[in-house]
Amino acid sequence: MNPSELQAKAAGNNRQLQPIGEILVGKGLVTREQLDKCLQKQKGSSKRLGEIFVQEGILNQDQLNQALAERLGVEHVGLAEYQVDSLAANMVPEKLARRYGAIPIKFLDENTLQVAMVDPTNVFAIDDLRMITGYDIRPAIASAEDVFGLIAKLHRLGDAVDEELAQEKDDYLAEAPVSADIRDAAAEAPIIKLVNGVITQGVDDGASDLHFEPQEKELVIRFRIDGVLHEIMSVPKRMQAGVLSRIKVMADMDIAERRIPQDGRIGLTVGGKPIDVRVASMPTVYGEKIVLRLLDKSSVLLGLSDLGFSGKALARFEKAYRKPYGAILVTGPTGSGKSTTLYATLNVLNSREKNIITVEDPVEYRLPGINQTQINPKAGLTFASGLRSILRSDPDIVMVGEIRDKETARIAIESALTGHLVLSTLHTNDAPGALTRLSEMGVEPFLTASAIECVLAQRLARRLCRHCRKPFEPSDEALKQGGFPEDVLGQGITIYRATGCPRCNNTGYKGRLGIYEVMLVSEAIERLTIERKSADEISRVAQAEGMVSLREDGIQKVLDGLTSVEEIGRVIV
């Protein structure tokens, strides 16, 4: 179908295209009040009305696409369960498919090709696809997640391995020792293709870490996705030296040194997104293990509301960070999202009128307008010495990556008492435990009580896949065991469980959200801190004053259908 035919068909269905809002109201998917509210939000915004419905949680993307398909007179396809014709899909180059958000899915007849598109009204894309393929194009609408996910899956990593092994002329070569010249091995095209493909797939899958793990007979590659490791593929042992050397060359590491751990960094652009890659190697009995930490620069632009804060928790936290001085501590285990929360807070506070300086280990994201310092213990630049230098540089806001020792803690606390807003992280299990932890580190309780304005404890829980989550009605006994409040018992509530589908790699989860506990330090909590009371006693008073505990916040997110009881049990003791 050419563009004019598409327009003619749409016009034939309805001489004047019916507004999408009216279609949604007519289908019973949206109320008139919701439509009016979203139309108001659309004013002064560059977003389409459908995007606002999805953003507000009124519709999911599939519901919106079905309505758009009806409006335009095209088919709606869900690609997660669709049997795509690989011959058709390969007719369009990957770069062009990504540019237009379009992928051919099947031949309708000898002259017509059906193409799944994010935007089937893009007549320029349809024109180009018709010229490239030589077929008439019949567009169908599909979600961006499905289209780009399918494009990524069609770019198989196994091709690089097969290409490398196909170069072997005789079977005995597979058992031959690896070439001594590892630079030559790293320069082979299949090796480069494999490494680039692994990194690209890691970005597309939303992985935070890529693990290259040498085993006795193979090199295993695993991705950490939403906090959980998944084995992706294994590479023949003879390719191990080439793959690992290629990564070390990219990270500007010493490829001849395999006896000691090394660190490096790679700057990449993947699918138009700038990605920083932190590389760490360490020797193991079967060779060097290398871990790549993927830092998506676009994620640092997230607002606090995008991280999973409830309205009440965000209001309490904002009350603290809007003060001109005092200390704000973010606590939780490694990998609980503390740095992301601090960066999001700095983004809110950043302005031309403020001098913001950070000292970090390492600097994970580079923020415009903020002075960031990376510690270097070998050169004598530690958190404590860096913090002293910061205080001589006339700062308004100071961010210390982590309070690890008594000296850093003391300087941070004294800085908060002398008119600076100080943000930092600390390793404790909950918010009240931060006050007793500082006392254990040797900071006088009266200083802690006076300086700390707020302690935020957090965890990261996996978000249920919205496409395959299944509702069920738990028994009251199960709710009691899960720690649900008494007022929900006997109410016949509906919550959701994970099942698994192709869109979430059959895990039942896609993405993560924060679980938060925000404790404001009141006069009563100050007194308990000075008296060296236990964290349990401080917690009881804080909850009486309105603090929602980690478990309570997690349970509320289960009731909201965002995560599961099992996931809350996994991340919160």
CA distances from 5 to 8, 73, 74, 129, 137 (A): 5, 11, 11, 15, 10
Q: Which two tokens stand for residue 570?
A: 């996994």
For residue 525, the model assigns a pLDDT of: 95
Report which DSSP code applies to 178: P
Q: Which long-range contacts (CB under 8 A, 24 or more apart) does 267-274 make?
A: 268/199, 270/199, 270/200, 270/203, 271/98, 271/148, 271/200, 271/203, 271/204, 273/203, 273/297, 273/298, 274/298
Give residue-wise pLDDT tens across range 279-298. 999 999 999 999 999 887 66
Q: What is the pLDDT of residues 308-357, one digit of tens each?
A: 888 899 999 999 999 999 999 999 988 888 888 998 999 899 988 999 99
CB neighbour list of residue 537: distance below 8 Å, 6 or more residues apart: 528
What pLDDT, on the 0 to 100 scale, is given for residue 502? 72
Cα dist. 538→347, 517, 520 in Å? 31, 13, 11
Tens of pLDDT, residue by residue over 186-196, are 444 678 888 88
Q: By mean pLDDT, which of 44-53, 149-158, 296-305, 535-544 is the weakest?
A: 149-158
**Looking at this protein, which amino acid is placed at residue 309?**
F
Examine residue 362 and say whether the peptide bond preceding it is cis (omega within 30 degrees of 0): yes
Does residue 533 or residue 55 have the better pLDDT? Answer: 533
SS3 labels along 306-369 = HHCCCHHHHHHHHHHHCCCCEEEEEECCCCCCHHHHHHHHHHHHCCCCCCEEEEECCCCCCCCC
* Least confident segment among 7-11, 424-428, 509-513, 544-548: 7-11
Residue 3 pLDDT exceeds 60: no
Residues in the chain: 573
Compute the average pLDDT of residues 383-404: 89
Q: What's the pLDDT at 134?
A: 87
Q: What is the CA radius of gyration of the chain?
A: 27
What's the rounded Cα separation, in Å, for the pair 559 and 573? 19
Q: How far apart are CA 284 and CA 260, in angstroms?
A: 10
Query: What is the pLDDT averaged over residues 54-65?
Result: 78
Please say if the pLDDT value at position 167 is more than 70. no
State the Cα–Cα distance between residues 314 and 305, nearest whole angstrom: 7
Mean pLDDT on 356-379:
86
Residues sharing a CB contact under 8 Å with residue 187, sequence separation 6 or more, in sequence order: none
Between the CA of residue 60 and those of 24, 30, 121, what are the distances in Å? 12, 12, 21
Which two three-digit tokens encode residue 238? 């003879």
**Nearest to 462, CA basis, from 121, 140, 224:** 224
Please give the pLDDT value at position 452. Answer: 94
**Whole-number average pLDDT of the chain:** 83
| pLDDT tens digits for range 461-473 | 999 988 888 888 8
| Residue-level pLDDT at 300 | 61
Q: pLDDT, tens digit, for every residue of 444-488?
A: 999 999 999 999 999 999 999 888 888 888 887 878 777 787 777
pLDDT over 80 (residue 70):
yes
The tens digit of pLDDT for each residue in 193-242 reads: 888 888 888 887 888 899 999 999 999 999 998 888 988 888 889 889 99
Q: If you average pLDDT over residues 152-172, what whole number do you get?
A: 50
Q: For 497-511, how does the pLDDT look when each residue is reduced to its tens digit (9 = 90+)?
A: 898 887 787 788 988
Amino acid at 546: G
Considering 55-59, 293-297, 376-380, the range whose residues carry the highest mean pLDDT is: 376-380
pTM for this model (two decimals): 0.70
Categorize the per-residue pLDDT at 303 as very low, low, confident or very high, splitting at 50, 70 and 90: confident
Report, as an integer, the average pLDDT of 79-101: 80
Q: Identify the pLDDT of residue 299.
A: 63
Burial of 532: CB neighbours in 10 Å, binned 0-12, 13-18, 19+: exposed
Q: Is 460 exposed, middle or buried (0-12, 13-18, 19+ CB in 10 A)?
A: buried
